[in-house]
Structure 1
Amino acid sequence: MSKTSAYGASSGNLSGLTKSLARVAFPGPASAGMVCLGLARSRRPLGITRWPCPREGARMASLQICSVTAEIAPFSKTGGLGDVAAALPSALTALGHRVVTVTPRYRDYPEAWDTGLRLRFPLFGTVHEVRLFHTRTAAHGDIVFVDHPAICRGGIYGNEHGAYGDNLFRFALLSRSAIEVARRFHPGGEAPLADWGPVRFLTHDWHAGLLPVYLRAHYQTHGLLRDATSVHVIHNLAHQGQAGMSSFGGLDLSGHWASTLEMGGALNCLKGALVSADRIVTVSPTYAREICTPAFGCGLDGILRMRRDVVSGILNGIDTTDWNPRVDRHLPENYGPEVFDEPEHQDTRGPGGGKAACKAALQSEMGLPVRGDIPVVGFVGRLTGQKGIDLLEQVGGWLGGSGAAQLIILGTGEHRYEQALAELSRRWRGRVVARLAFDNGLAHRITAGSDILVMPSRFEPCGLNQLYALAYGTVPVVHATGGLADTVPSFHPGSDSGLGWAFSPASVDTFRQALGFALQTWYHHPATFRRMAQRGMAPDRGWGPSAHAYARLLGG
């Protein structure tokens, strides 16, 4: 463990330490990056004494991919990143590619065993040792967990008192370790990724943003991993991993790299990734265009415009083994698109079959009148300004006062929004319900039981809830931004096309107007509404198409 609990050694002290280590500790090419690899006793035997290596003519995967992420469901998750980081490697593996995911070991995961491998890195004035744990599952493939006392303390980014003060150090360890995993770790007794062919690093958000910098600084400038490439995935540009520039001295980088990480007088991990990565991907085509503008660029739009030629957008998919109304274990009754077939009585507004049963069960669970002649409007998400909760509060008051629909809200977040929505629920009891909690099963039931799902997000890189809604025959009403604009084409009465209503700009008036159109269609043109809901269920929203797009990008 470090001698300085804040990992705040001066750059001068670190420089001296680094130089001394370079002189005595690491002979040969492995000295680049000051890496020391050890083998200690594991609690599960490795079982072989000689690692198999690729042979000429052996069947080899098309790509060797190392995915690096701060979250991976179900082991660690705060939002969509954990879902994507789990589903994308699985889909890439299904295409025949070799994928290893590297992620922090925040707690003891019984599924993972100690490999016995030890890595040592000089960071913030001390040489730190990390352990590597490994698991291989049918759903997720190979996962390597990076273990260190600063990482394994329960929280992902912080605790009830706020963000951890040493997150820069924690995720620097992740980036350093991931490169060595690709070079030296033998998953399941096979050769390391780097022995099979050029490694393609897939780094997610700022937490892995130092990896492209370390790859260039400690490896490629020393002739190592010269054919490796890095693709950085932006899930949310607003999260950048900023710290004071005084922290730069602790990162084991020469002064030459300071300008790579400096942004506005501060250290910025995401900026380092945007400058150093070979390619940059966002999670929707529209968001890829938006972040190149001052309105959405979060101060990094200038850099992104300069690198526009390597910026692209690939829509996220959804896990159709979990989000599928035909097999969803959280629902009282399963169903498919056939519930929207023309009913015997043409004045019937809603669907029949399982979706109608889900709606009635949801109304009962939420303490609302069980009525098929009134639409249910749902919201599932974080209660933050980004998600447009101030707009939802005001439009929710309009809904409660008019009685035109029942409104069900599920989420947690900023205290002011939780208070406002709790008051809205009290004021319009029997019409509005706000459940201030995280409840995965209820999220599934709201998605299935609602007629309309609203997402008034001010910006939304991709969004998953609108994709879930479409798959469940629930019509989205969204702000036309990012992935919402890409996935919810607006309804056009003349051509009877579209999958929902997309409004712009993000304001109370435009939101209320779009929701009003949706309600009018539900009440007065039920057959049109049913056809729209049924169209939304038709496409394959799984990860297959997205995985193919990532493979083309990684292989290019």
Structure 2
Amino acid sequence: VYNIVFVTTEASPYSKTGGLGDVCGSLPIVLAGRGHRVMVVSPRYLNGDSSKQAYANAVEMEEQSRIYCFGGEHEIRYYHEFRAGVDWVFVDHVFYHRPGTPYRGVNGLFQDNQLRFALLCYAASEAPLVLRLGGNSNSVYGEKTIFVANDWHSGLVPVLLAAKYRPRGVYTEARCVFVIHNMAYQGMEFATAYKNLGLPNEWHLTIESMHPKWARSNHSDEPFNFLKSAIAVADRIVTVSQIYSREITTPKGGYGLHKLLKSRNGVLTGITNGIDDNEWNPSTDKFIASTYSIDNLSGKIDCKIALQKELGFPVRPDLPLIGFVGRLDYQKGIDILLSTIPDIMKEEGVQLVMMGSGDAEYEKRMQRIESSYPDKYRGRFGFEESVYHRIIAGCDILAMPSRFEPCGLVQLHAMRYGTVPVVHSTGGLRETVSTFDPESNGEGTGWVFSPLNKDTLIDALRTAVHTYETNKPSWEGLMKRGMERKSSWDEAADRYERVFELAFGNPPY
């Protein structure tokens, strides 16, 4: 049994912009259910009335922390809620009280994100030492703790343990697992700002010396890379799918850090994400028009009709309805998907809905497309959980032309709801979706295409549409095989426990 502390910028249902929020809102609950003592530390974002409601059950704690970094002293307050067997701890500071998402406002990315998340790392490092949490035993977690730091925002945690705590005899029995959800975001900071992080001066060079010679700059203007430093110092490294753990050790997938990752291959593990079977269950889903199951699929037609009405489409349950949900950015292949729409719209009776937020140029293109095809296309901007559920339940086909996808949860949600995915062959998409072969005897859960370009995407979507229209028995088999696929967190939790065991089996790095 372990004392586990997750450090994350997102944890659903309190905060979420994507898969990170889903993972850190679900996996801790599963681990707590297996007997571990689990804490999740994330910011207390106050960006409007709805955010206040999210933290309505969190109570301010007596304990506080004073953190010295970025040229001053910062007073941190903690809020706590014990829910589903987990201690949910929220770090409160004025830097988290602003309109927008956790990372950006109306004018783009917040320019002080490195400061905001450095404070999170400091506060999370202090939490097991100072917070007496009554959810389990009204005691501190203590020093023998396993930290699970997620993405660059939490990348200072393993550095703080090694540079500030262990030299003072604190956390000598602690370990840190660093989870990479997306290599493309690394948390770069100017080298001149290193002094603001509150780390010992010699540790800038120490971190550099941990990198292979090729990765050392020995220049004063070398940016401080939060992700790179965590990779160098963490006791174990996890990625969110097995294929992605291999992809990031290649020049294409490693975003400049592939050699460093390859040098640490002995502590690198791929663990495919799961999904919350209670939240994502078409037989109990409170957001959809009609519940259904693998034994009675009739409710899915009702969900499709309701979605067509909600979107203002002609109500035609016989027509294939294609969906996309995700960030509107280059990684997700939005440019390629949008370029295919005129060809897709030529198909008789195909409808398409897209929901997401991101690049304003993509939103403008979607608006123009909707004006050109008002009976066949809808673009929805932003993200709303209930609408997401209704799109997944109401669509027949899900399109995911991502350039890279560390794991991807949307395709797992889709298969759970009998919506057939068409995905690019990359990362977790390739790992979780298998291509349907009409000659095979009941195999495949969708279509996996490669290489990624307009023509291959169109061909895959046309194949899916043709199968839907002409081979109903095969289509029902596709739906049911996706719904049968095991995607719960139980298997992933087993593997995380093994990683924790390995971390404690060796001295801290």
TM-score by length of 1: 0.83
Q: Are the counterparts in 1 of residues 241 and 273 from structure 2 also a CA contact under 8 Å? A: yes
The amino acid of 1:175's aligned partner reads C
Matched with 1:121 is: 67
Task: Report the alpha carbon displacement of residue 122 of structure 1 after superposing the two structures with TM.
Answer: 1.8
Distance 2:320 2:38 in 1: 45
> Secondary structure of the equivalent of 2:462?
helix
Matched with 1:482 is: 427
Q: Which has the larger radius of gyration?
A: 1
Matched with 1:461 is: 406
Match of 1:426 among 371, 384, 393: 371
Match of 1:315 among 272, 285, 295: 272
Task: Report the alpha carbon displacement of residue 404 of structure 1 after superposing the two structures with TM.
Answer: 5.0
1:485/1:100 CA distance change after superposition, 3 Å: same
Matched with 2:138 is: 190
Q: Residues 349-498 of structure 1 correspond to what in structure 2 (within 5 A)?
A: 353-495=298-440, 496-498=442-444
Task: Report the alpha carbon displacement of residue 91 of structure 1 after superposing the two structures with TM.
Answer: 0.7
Deviations 1:400-429 (A, max 9, x none): 122252111122221111111221122122
Q: Are the counterparts in 1 of residues 63 and 130 from structure 2 also a CA contact under 8 Å? A: no
Question: Gapped runs of 5+ residues in structure 2?
Answer: 47-51, 209-214, 503-509
**Is 1:218 aligned to 2:164, yes or no?**
yes
Matched with 2:505 is: none
The amino acid of 1:302's aligned partner reads K
**Is 1:204 aligned to 2:143, yes or no?**
no
Match of 1:293 among 245, 250, 259: 250
Matched with 1:169 is: 115
Match of 1:228 among 157, 162, 174: 174
1:201/1:384 CA distance change after superposition, 3 Å: same
Distance 1:170 1:472 in 2: 38
Deviations 1:457-510 (A, max 9, x none): 111111111001100001100001111011101112222311100011111111
Q: Are the counterparts in 1 of residues 344 and 458 from structure 2 also a CA contact under 8 Å? A: no
**Percent identity of paired positions between Structure 1 and Structure 2:** 43
> Secondary structure of the equivalent of 1:194?
coil
Matched with 1:327 is: 284
1:423/1:543 CA distance change after superposition, 3 Å: same
Deviations 1:130-169 (A, max 9, x none): 122211112x610122222223345422321222222222
Q: Are the counterparts in 2 of residues 460 and 481 from structure 1 also a CA contact under 8 Å? A: yes
Divergent runs of 4+, >4 A: 260-264
Distance 2:207 2:358 in 1: 31
Task: Report the alpha carbon displacement of residue 261 of structure 1 after superposing the two structures with TM.
Answer: 5.5
Q: Are the counterparts in 2 of residues 69 and 85 from structure 1 also a CA contact under 8 Å? A: yes
Question: Gapped runs of 5+ residues in structure 1?
Answer: 1-61, 340-351
Deviations 1:217-264 (A, max 9, x none): 112233221121100011111111111001101112223221455676
1:207/1:502 CA distance change after superposition, 3 Å: same
Matched with 2:5 is: 66
1:209/1:358 CA distance change after superposition, 3 Å: same
Q: Are the counterparts in 2 of residues 183 and 192 from structure 1 also a CA contact under 8 Å? A: yes
TM-score by length of 2: 0.91
Matched with 1:51 is: none
Q: Are the counterparts in 1 of residues 164 and 200 from structure 2 also a CA contact under 8 Å? A: no
The amino acid of 1:222's aligned partner reads R
Matched with 1:238 is: 184
The amino acid of 2:231's aligned partner reads L
The amino acid of 2:306's aligned partner reads A
Q: Are the counterparts in 2 of residues 401 and 428 from structure 1 also a CA contact under 8 Å? A: no
The amino acid of 1:470's aligned partner reads M
Distance 2:199 2:323 in 1: 49
Q: Residues 278-289 of structure 1 correspond to what in structure 2 (within 5 A)?
A: 278-289=235-246
Distance 2:82 2:317 in 1: 47
Match of 1:180 among 115, 126, 132: 126
Task: Report the alpha carbon displacement of residue 436 of structure 1 after superposing the two structures with TM.
Answer: 2.6
Distance 1:158 1:277 in 2: 28
**Is 1:257 aligned to 2:214, yes or no?**
no
Matched with 1:539 is: 485
Deviations 1:63-103 (A, max 9, x none): 11011111112222221111111111111001111101111
Cα RMSD after superposing both structures: 1.7
> Secondary structure of the equivalent of 2:378?
strand
Matched with 1:47 is: none
Distance 1:256 1:201 in 2: 24
